[in-house]
Chain A
Amino acid sequence: MLAFIVRRLLSGVVLIAVISFLAFTLLYAAGGDIARRILGENATAETVAKKTAELGLNRPLLAQYGDWLSSAVTGNLGRSWFNGELVSVSVSGRLSVTLSIVVGATLVSAILSILLGVLAARRGGVIDAGVQFLSLVGFAVPGFLIALLLVLVFAVNLGWFKATGYTPLTTSFSGWVASVVLPIVALSIGAIATVAQQVRGSVIDATSRDYVRTLRARGLSENSVIYRHVLRNAGGPALAVLAVQFVGLLGGAVIVEQIFAIPGMGQLSVRATTQGDIPVVMGLVIAFAIIVVVVNLLIDLAQAALNPKVRLS
């Protein structure tokens, strides 16, 4: 077990190193004149040249990556080229914001999709058709459109929630709730659609198995059969889908954070990438990679706990 975790973490480190190099070189390929972008049209050629030298952008690509890597392994990710903030502060400050939304959306979608999936599988008929139809709609309507609608109705017209910005949990609980509910709803809908289908399929599949017939024959109540035994078996695939959804939600957060002007990692990614703010993009790439590695590891562990037949080897 421990060996498994250590091996997974090590391969994660290698993955992060490869990704960081790819990100660095790709950013350079797409980069353009970064010093000019920082300074704008008012700067003279001399000022631009001075800035280029100051940032070390006139040195070979590999030398620049080497410098970045050697300071990154000591924990120093540098400062943003566009606002001077420490990258570690930028990224960690926005991590809690994005996690609030993405973890919230994952929980909401996990709970609702399991409920809807089981409901559809057990009741069948009109209810099943209804749930399937709703899933289809949730799957087909893009998240950003839902987000825009939610803002108009619940923030602008009704004034229940905030249309823009984010209030940290430490500042005000009600303010935090007002700023995260709409983004969570916007993000969850697509995920619920996908996972509910998965749960429905797994439950239907499991209920036709021999062990379920045996359990029923032994006189167990239907609720007990479904929630104690069937879901345990159907949970594995659903968890795997949820893990993929979680990573997908990180991507979805990019658009939702733009619409709600929420200072999370998504918004930071958009700004840093379009500006060519390499230190920040690198910090984000590493943070995202760590999250993905850790989430996958946790899902593997959770699946093992759920079903002893899944061995960690």
Chain B
Amino acid sequence: MFRWKATAALAVAAALVLTGCSGGGSGSEGSGSADRLTLTAIASPTSYDIGAGAEYGNRSPFFQAVFDTLLQKDSKGEIQPWLATAWEYNDDKTVLTLTLKDGVTFTDGTPLDASAVVASLERFRDGTSPQAATLAGKEFAAVDATTVTITQTAPDPSLVNLLSIAPGLIEAPSSFGNADVATNPIGSGPYILDTASSVTGTTYNYTANPDYWNKDAVKYQNLTINVLEDPTATLNAIRAGEANGAKIADNNTISEVEGAGWTIESNELDFQGLLLLDRAGTMAPQLADVKVRQAINMAFDREALLQSLQTGYGTVTEQVFPKTSVAYDESLDSTYPYDPAAAKKLLADAGYPNGFTLNMMSTPAFQQTFDLVAQQLSDIGITVNYTDPGTGNFITDMLAPKYPATWMALEQNPDWQLINFMIAPDATFNPFKYEDPKVDALISTIQTGSQAESDTAVKELNTYLVDQAWFAPFFRVQGTFATDANTNLEFWPTNAYPSIFDFSPKN
């Protein structure tokens, strides 16, 4: 009997604590103050060691918090000075000279000088981070304590942009040998990771770096990033007021987020659609005929796809260059209006009056997309034969290459990165290594020509690719970030996650 009494007492005590806690909880939220910024993210860093895991995109805030980049993108996407106060190319654009800010130290007290920057860049280049290859073949040298040169064999129009994202992150060389380098980052950034109160993969707590060189840029004393992989958990955190800013992975929840009094910020970085990879017809001979590729483009009712797959959040498109590129041409987006009859005629002209069978991959997570794609293609006579490559093999099999065409969501980068990502003969997403002399010549002009020549060439390239139907894009998906009533945000137009410097408390 005594035990029951003890239990009852415990229950009463718990109830008292709870009432106390709920009262205190609402008082200490204080989300509008400059004390703490709480964000939710959908992915955690694979490794804080830049040689193993440096990444931007959805993982950018974790790296931005603890490391500085050599250059910085402002909220309009323009490159600004940061650790490097000035940068200049030589005449043939093979040597970039960077002037570093003097007197910056890493949070372990070691100096951030030219030799540290060189060591850090080399670690990134020689490591296995996703973008490691972007610095391949480049040589770094410390001319004096505050001057670094980057030497390359040929011009790289994306280099300056790269130095403002993952490849430009500077990690303290003194930490390279640490056993916990993957989970305990040492940089010169605005915040220091509080490893004691953080749970790797789930909750990351940071405190402001007391010796930061650019204190004006730091608007919160503490930063917390909670990783919420489940869209419902994100929605619950928003409704319960447990965050100030949240990455919205599921656009179907936008109306509920707005209903909770939050503000939606958006950009468009990824396009979804078909990659018609086997343009030479080595695996699917039909795809060698441009008429077939054009017919495929005309088979899709893009507006309807956008509506049913993304609840309308996004913009239909027929080009792979983003709106922020000089190559973007709005009129290209009406090159292939939805017209199954015309598509059938094109197929007949190409010698396939009865259509043909096309092998493609599917994956359960996007079943609705695959069903709609198959249905629209079957309307013009193309039968899709899907194979599920199994968990974790979708990209591997695509790049093997094992399929002539595939549905995919790809990110749209600045021009030179985009070209080397999905168009150039050795681009990752040109797995058949398809080449076209006209494309090669334009790429060469973009790489070595003057700014004006390059701008003209990239526009011409985009028009040519749409004309030749290298791809069959459907739409650009809206990237969504939401903030609560106490938080201002200027959302980067060029990254999946906002810059942590672009958050500020209201009032």
Do these two chains really belong together in a complex?
A: yes
Contact residues of A between 14 and 35, Cβ < 8 Å to B: 30-34
**A36 adjacent to chain B (CB < 8 Å):** yes
Q: Quick one: which of A156, A171, A261, A274 has the most chain B CB within 10 A? A: A261
> In the complex, how many angstroms separate the beta carbon of A297 from the nearest chain B beta carbon?
24
Using a Cβ–Cβ cut-off of 8 Å, how many residues does chain B contribute to the interface with A? 60
In the bound complex, what is the Cα–Cα distance between A162 and B243 (angstroms)?
Answer: 12
Query: Which residues of A sit under 8 angstroms from B228, Cβ to Cβ?
Result: 164, 261
Query: Which residues of B sit under 8 angstroms from A31, Cβ to Cβ?
Result: 392
**A302 adjacent to chain B (CB < 8 Å):** no
Q: Which residue of A lies closest to B398 (CB)?
A: A41
In the bound complex, what is the Cα–Cα distance between A34 and B228 (angstroms)?
Answer: 22
In the bound complex, what is the Cα–Cα distance between A37 and B389 (angstroms)?
Answer: 14
Contact residues of A between 71 and 95, Cβ < 8 Å to B: 79-80, 82-85, 89-90, 93-94
Please pick, from A32, A82, A164, A267, the residue contacting B390 in the complex, using a CB distance under 8 A.
Answer: A32
> In the complex, how many angstroms separate the beta carbon of A117 from the nearest chain B beta carbon?
16
Please pick, from B53, B203, B393, the residue contacting A263 in the complex, using a CB distance under 8 A.
Answer: B203
Contact between A42 and B131 (Cβ–Cβ < 8 Å)?
Answer: yes
Query: Which residues of A sit under 8 angstroms from B182, Cβ to Cβ?
Result: 79, 83-85
Contact between B392 and A174 (Cβ–Cβ < 8 Å)?
Answer: no
Please pick, from A37, A42, A261, the residue contacting B392 in the complex, using a CB distance under 8 A.
Answer: A37
Query: Which stretch (A4-12, A46-54, A229-237) binds chain B?
Result: A46-54
In the bound complex, what is the Cα–Cα distance between A161 and B236 (angstroms)?
Answer: 12
Contact between A84 and B52 (Cβ–Cβ < 8 Å)?
Answer: yes
Contact between A39 and B130 (Cβ–Cβ < 8 Å)?
Answer: yes
In the bound complex, what is the Cα–Cα distance between A12 and B52 (angstroms)?
Answer: 38
Q: Which residue of A lies closest to B56 (CB)?
A: A42
**A173 adjacent to chain B (CB < 8 Å):** yes
In the bound complex, what is the Cα–Cα distance between A45 and B21 (angstroms)?
Answer: 53
Interface size class of A (residues with CB under 8 A): 35 or more
> In the complex, how many angstroms separate the beta carbon of B268 from the nearest chain A beta carbon?
18
**B309 adjacent to chain A (CB < 8 Å):** no
Contact between A164 and B240 (Cβ–Cβ < 8 Å)?
Answer: yes
Q: Quick one: which of B20, B181, B202, B390 has the most chain A CB within 10 A? A: B202
Contact between A50 and B128 (Cβ–Cβ < 8 Å)?
Answer: yes
Q: A46-B133, A178-B18 are in contact. Are A82 and B230 (CB under 8 A)?
A: no
Contact between A155 and B133 (Cβ–Cβ < 8 Å)?
Answer: no
Q: A39-B128, A42-B131, A46-B133 are in contact. Are A32 and B393 (CB under 8 A)?
A: yes
Contact residues of A between 251 and 276, Cβ < 8 Å to B: 258-261, 263, 267-268, 271, 274, 276
**A248 adjacent to chain B (CB < 8 Å):** no
Contact between B428 and A44 (Cβ–Cβ < 8 Å)?
Answer: yes
In the bound complex, what is the Cα–Cα distance between A93 and B421 (angstroms)?
Answer: 40
Contact residues of A between 140 and 162, Cβ < 8 Å to B: 148, 151-152, 155-156, 159-162
**A43 adjacent to chain B (CB < 8 Å):** yes
Query: Which residues of B sit under 8 angstroms from A160, Cβ to Cβ?
Result: 18, 22
Q: Which residue of A lies closest to B17 (CB)?
A: A174
Please pick, from A36, A83, A263, the residue contacting B396 in the complex, using a CB distance under 8 A.
Answer: A36
Please pick, from B237, B392, B410, B421, the residue contacting A163 in the complex, using a CB distance under 8 A.
Answer: B237
**B200 adjacent to chain A (CB < 8 Å):** yes
Contact between A159 and B22 (Cβ–Cβ < 8 Å)?
Answer: yes
Query: Which residues of A sit under 8 angstroms from B22, Cβ to Cβ?
Result: 159-160, 178
**B25 adjacent to chain A (CB < 8 Å):** yes
Query: Which residues of B sit under 8 angstroms from A268, Cβ to Cβ?
Result: 201
Please pick, from B25, B203, B232, B233, the residue contacting A159 in the complex, using a CB distance under 8 A.
Answer: B25
Contact between B128 and A51 (Cβ–Cβ < 8 Å)?
Answer: yes
14 more contacts with CB within 8 A, not counting A42-B131, A260-B233, are: A32-B391, A32-B393, A33-B392, A40-B55, A42-B428, A51-B128, A83-B45, A84-B47, A94-B199, A152-B236, A159-B25, A159-B240, A177-B17, A276-B392
B interface, CB within 8 angstroms of A: 7, 14, 17-18, 20-22, 24-26, 44-49, 52-53, 55, 128-133, 136, 181-183, 197, 199-203, 226, 228-230, 232-233, 236-237, 239-242, 389-393, 395-396, 399, 410-411, 421, 428-429
A interface, CB within 8 angstroms of B: 30-34, 36-47, 50-51, 54, 79-80, 82-85, 89-90, 93-94, 111, 148, 151-152, 155-156, 159-165, 171, 173-175, 177-178, 181, 258-261, 263, 267-268, 271, 274, 276
7 inter-chain pairs at a CB distance below 8 angstroms, sorted by A residue, are A32-B391, A34-B392, A82-B201, A83-B45, A174-B21, A178-B21, A261-B237
